[in-house]
Amino acid sequence: MAVGHRVVDLLLHMRLAVLGVFVLACGDVSGGPQPLDLSALQDPAACQSCHPDHFREWSGSMHAYAAQDPVFLAMNARGQRETHGALGTFCVNCHAPVAVREGLTTDGLNLASLPAAKKGVTCYFCHSAAAINGTHDNPLVLTNDGSLFGPFANPAPGAPHRSSRSPHFDDTSPASAAMCGACHDIVTPAGAPLERTFSEWQGTLFSVPPNGLSCQACHMAGRDGPASTVSSVSRRLHSHTFAGLDLAIDQAFPERAAQEAHVQELLDTTLQSSLCLDTASRTFQVVLENVGAGHGFPSGSSADRRAWVEVAARVGDTTIFSTGQQRGTELVAGNDPDLWLMRDCLFDGAGAEKHMFWEAAAISTSELPGSVVMTLSDPSSFSRTHLARTFPAAGPLPALPDAIELKVHVQPVGDDVIADLVASGDLAAGAVPSTRRFEIAGAALTWTKAEATRIFDATSGSERLCVTTGKVPPQFAAGRTLARCVAP
Q: Tell me which DSSP letter residue 378 carries.
A: B
Helix (H) or strand (E) holding 30: none
382 vs 369: CA distance, rounded Å? 11
Pairing of strands 403-411, 445-448: antiparallel
Q: Which residues are CB-neighbours of 40 under 8 A, at least 6 positions away?
A: 18, 21, 25, 46
Low-confidence ranges of the chain (pLDDT < 50): 1-25, 27-31, 474, 477-480
Burial class (CB in 10 A: 0-12, 13-18, 19+), 337: exposed
Class of residue 227 by CB neighbours under 10 A (exposed 0-12, middle 13-18, buried 19+): buried
Distance, CA of 231 to CA of 156 (rounded, Å): 6
Mapping DSSP to helix (H, G, I), strand (E, B) and coil, where does residue 331 land? helix
Domain parsing of the chain, residue ranges: 2-66+121-264, 269-468
Burial category of 381 from C-beta neighbours within 10 Å (exposed 0-12, middle 13-18, buried 19 and up): middle
- Distance separating alpha carbons of residues 318 and 359, to the nearest angstrom: 46
**Between helices 415-423 and 70-82, what is the axis angle to 10°?**
50
Strand (E) positions, 366-473? 386-391, 403-411, 438-439, 445-448, 453-457, 462-468
At residue 465, φ and ψ (nearest 5 deg) are: -110, 115
Query: Can you say how many angstroms the Cα of residue 416 is from the centroid of all Cα atoms in its chain?
Result: 19
The CA distance from 421 to 56, in Å, is: 32
Rg value, the chain, Cα = 24
Residue type, 59: S
| Amino acid at position 440, single letter | I
- The candidate with the shortest Cα–Cα distance to 87, out of 65, 102, 72, is 72
Residue 402 burial (CB count, 10 A): 16
Q: With CA atoms as reference, report the closest residue to 284 among 314, 252, 257.
A: 314
485 backbone dihedrals φ, ψ, rounded to 5°: -75, 125
The answer to whether 458 and 317 have CB atoms below 8 angstroms apart is no
**pLDDT computed for residue 144 by the predictor:** 84
Residues 488, 350: Cα–Cα separation, whole Å: 11
C-alpha distances in Å from residue 310, one per residue of 336, 337, 339, 446, 452: 11, 13, 8, 12, 20
Asked if 313 contacts 298 with a C-beta cutoff of 8 angstroms, the reply is no
84: left (phi over 0), alpha (psi -120 to 50) or beta: left
3-state SS string for 332-374? HHCCCCCCCEECEEEECCCCCEECCHHHCCEEEECCECCCCCC
| Bridge partners (DSSP) listed for residue 404 | 313, 447
- Alpha-carbon distances of 466 from 394, 397, 471, rounded to whole Å: 21, 17, 10
Q: Chain centroid to CA 248: how far?
A: 13
d(CA 358, CA 318): 47
